[in-house]
Structure 1
Amino acid sequence: MKLPENIEGFIQSQNELDSTVFANYFTEQATVFDEGSSYSGRDEIKQWIQQATEKYSMQLKPLNFNQIGSKGKLTVEVTGTFPGSPAVMQYHFEWDGPAIRSLKITG
Structure 2
Amino acid sequence: MGNQKLYKGSLQTIILKLLAKNEKMYGYEITQKVKELTKGELSITEGALYPALHKLEAEGFLDVEVAKVDNRLRKYYKLTKNGTKETVNRLAEMEEFLKTMQQIVNPKFSLE
Q: TM-score, normalised by structure 2?
A: 0.29
- Specify which structure has the higher proportion of helix: 2
Q: Which has the larger radius of gyration?
A: 2
Q: TM-score, normalised by structure 1?
A: 0.30
